Amino acid sequence: MPQRLRSRNSRPRLGLWVLATVGLLALAALAVVALRPGRTPADLGAPSVISTQAGTFHSEDVQVPALSHVLKASDFAASRRGRVSFAVVDTTGGLSCFHCRVSYRSASVVKAMLLIAYLNRLVGENEVLTADHEAYLNSMIRRSDNEAATVIYGHVGDRHLRELANQAHMTDFHISGSWGTARITAADQANFFARMDELTPSQYEGYARSLLSSVVARQSWGIPTASQPEWFTMFKGGWLTSRRGSLVHQVGRLEQGQLSLAIAVLTDGNPSDAYGRETITGIAERLLGH
């Protein structure tokens, strides 16, 4: 089974030699801020900020993405129009991000949380997954069906989504009265996808993974474009028209043998949906070293 990513709060800080290396890279490219567990960057308003929370790096660890790739992704993100945020939980369990605590409307990205919250509710209330509700879940995830999401939300409500957010140690998740009101950050979503297996009831783990890895082809842009076929990829995207322009998000979990990582890219104010998808693809490609 692929290695499960460890919570960033459970790992010690980087050694001084790694921090020194990060500092040199920052001088050449961007400002880099080291975070303690539960802290946020001091200057999220800066045009280009990376926040890094990682554990002690061992010589046998494979760190994907490398810090140089995170810097390249950040430089690319800063060059794009509109608002751009991303976060990545790397293969060592470290969190690196760009404006990762900025809040966005979730659009359909929250449907991945709806899926896991609904499965947890079934187990908690000793219910079984009916054929009708299985069809709704399939449509909600694989085709991003809004009506199906509304049906599932009717069984989950704000309470179960908030419970899931608490279990995932999300600090900035908000929802009020409908799934469409959900607000998310890149940091929270990357951590959620990194811990998705442990947040899913064991009897439904394979089912949830099968849905998130079989999104219809017309919605398989962005992260899977950059990651496949090298990485087994589970993901969910979201898009809508906001007052700023086109809002386009995507979050994914990537696995390769014993390695796993999670990427969340949130964007708003794009001149078009296509432009937003290109931003997400470009960030993912640079994170993966393409």
DSSP class per residue in the chain: -PPPPPPGGGSPPPPHHHHHHHHHHHHHS-EEEE--TT---TTTTSSSEEEEE--PPPTT---SS-HHHHHHHHHHHHHSSSEEEEEEE-TTS-EEEESTT--EE-GGGHHHHHHHHHHHHHHHTT----HHHHHHHHHHHHS--HHHHHHHHHHHHHHHHHHHHHHTT-SS-B--SSGGG-EE-HHHHHHHHHTHHHHS-GGGHHHHHHHHT---GGG--SHHHHHTTTSEEEEEEEEEEETTEEEEEEEEEEEETTEEEEEEEEEEEESSHHHHHHHHHHHHHHHTT-
Residue 237 shares a structural domain with residue 188: yes
Q: Which residues contact 11 (CB under 8 A, 6 or more apart)?
A: 54, 55, 56, 93, 94
Q: Which of 281, 238, 4 is nearest to 113 (CA)?
A: 238
Residue 173 shares a structural domain with residue 58: no
Q: Could you give the angle at the alpha carbon of 15 between the alpha carbons of 10 and 20, nearest 5°? A: 130
Residues 91-127 pLDDT 10s = 999 999 999 999 999 999 999 999 999 999 999 999 9
Residue 117 lies inside a defined structural domain of this protein: yes
Residue 290 is predicted with a pLDDT of 87
CB atoms within 10 A of CB 51: 24
Residue 247 tokens read as: 């809002």
Residue 30 shares a structural domain with residue 155: no
Q: Which of 235, 285, 284 is nearest to 87 (CA)?
A: 284
Count of domains observed in the chain: 2
Residue 239 lies inside a defined structural domain of this protein: yes
Residue 143 shares a structural domain with residue 263: yes
Which of 98, 117, 135 represents a domain boundary (last residue)?
98
Q: Which of 154, 121, 118 is nearest to 137 (CA)?
A: 118
Amino acid making up residue 37 = P
Split at pLDDT 50, 70, 90, the class of 208 is very high
Residue 119 lies inside a defined structural domain of this protein: yes
Sheet of 31-34: strand order equals 31-34, 49-53, 95-98, 83-89, 259-270, 245-256, 232-242
Which of 79, 98, 117 represents a domain boundary (last residue)?
98
Split at pLDDT 50, 70, 90, the class of 60 is low
Q: Which residues contact 110 (CB under 8 A, 6 or more apart)?
A: 161, 175, 179, 182, 184, 238
Residue 52 is predicted with a pLDDT of 52
Residue 246 shares a structural domain with residue 127: yes
Which of 38, 68, 98 represents a domain boundary (last residue)?
98
Residue 143 lies inside a defined structural domain of this protein: yes
Say yes or no to pLDDT of 146 above 80.
yes
CB atoms within 10 A of CB 187: 30
Residue 116 shares a structural domain with residue 222: yes
Residue 256 is predicted with a pLDDT of 96
Tell me the residue range of the domain where 132 lies.
104-269
Residue 143 shares a structural domain with residue 254: yes
Residue 28 shares a structural domain with residue 153: no
Split at pLDDT 50, 70, 90, the class of 20 is very low
